[in-house]
Amino acid sequence: MTDEKTAEQKPAEQKPARRSSGTGKKVLAGANLVRSRVASLVWLIAVVCALFLAVGALLVALRMNQDNPIISFVLDGANKLDFGSFKDFSGKNAHVKEALTNWGIAAVIYLVIGKVLDRIIRP
């Protein structure tokens, strides 16, 4: 008879399991997904900016026709993304040297800042 009493008491003593820990894990996983996507977007923007600057410098170095609308678009974009003049050159082909130097430095800065922000944002 003692076995019957203990068997009857065991189910009554168990407490229902909490489900809040699963919800917290889902929220954390969702937040990490959002942070990861934002970090990827920041890195993509930095790479696109660096590409504009690098392609613009290449187009200037190759002395491409600036009346072409596509080339004009790339050069205008590179001019807007440039931080300013890091170094001024004089003499023969000064504008080519300035574009290669200034836009090259700006492209590297965009990539460094983009990667630092990516590492800070990403979980």
Domain assignment of residue 23, yes or no: no
Positive or negative, the Cα torsion across 112, 116, 122, 123?
Answer: positive
Predicted pLDDT of residue 23: 85
Contact yes or no for 49/78 (Cβ under 8 A): no
pLDDT at 8 > cutoff 90: no
Which residue range is the domain that position 103 belongs to?
Answer: 52-123
Average pLDDT over residues 49-78: 93
Q: Which residue has the higher pLDDT, 117 or 87?
A: 117
Domain assignment of residue 73, yes or no: yes
The domain tally of the chain equals 1
| Span of 10-14, 22-26, 43-47, 54-58 with lowest mean pLDDT | 10-14
Domain assignment of residue 62, yes or no: yes
Domain assignment of residue 11, yes or no: no
Domain assignment of residue 45, yes or no: no
CA distance 7 to 2: 9
pLDDT at 49 > cutoff 80: yes
Domain assignment of residue 18, yes or no: no
Domain assignment of residue 113, yes or no: yes
Cα separations in angstroms, 18 against 22, 23, 26, 50: 9, 10, 15, 50
Predicted TM-score (pTM) above 0.85: no
Domain assignment of residue 21, yes or no: no
pLDDT tens digits for 24-34?
Answer: 889 988 899 99
pLDDT at 69 > cutoff 80: yes
Average pLDDT over residues 101-117: 94
